[in-house]
Copies of this chain bind each other. A is one copy, B any other.
């Protein structure tokens, strides 16, 4: 039987109120700072549940950390993520879906699934970057 606990709700809300992708760790830290005595293990479990129910999306950051985000659109879609501020735009990509299927079957592959994510700098961060470029890095 599936039970409703405030912890699960807290995780769901924390995820929903966040624009970009967040790691389980930072989500946990954030919740504690808001006063929740929620445990780390519980956050992981809740995130895994949400992800498997399709209410959240997960991806691996380049550093190997797992990132989660609440999905507004149910169903399959991809993401455009700012690598500086984490802002995320959901993108539907029928073209890409079809391309993936076609490429897979051309090579005899079945049951194709794909990872398609675009990382970049959002408009805001591009501007910031340009501004800070005058000060030489490191």
A34, CB-defined interface residue at 8 Å: no
Q: This chain: how many copies in the complex?
A: 2
- Tally of chain A residues near chain B (CB < 8 A): 34
CB contacts under 8 Å to B, within A111-130, are: 111-123, 126
Q: Chain B contacts of A64 at CB under 8 A? A: 60, 64-66
A111 and B121 in contact, given A64-B64, A99-B96, A116-B116 (Cβ under 8 angstroms): yes
Q: Chain B contacts of A117 at CB under 8 A? A: 114-115
Shortest CB–CB separation between residue A82 and chain B, in angstroms? 7
A residues adjacent to B (C-beta < 8 A): 60, 62, 64-66, 80, 82, 89, 91, 93, 95-96, 99-100, 103-104, 107-123, 126
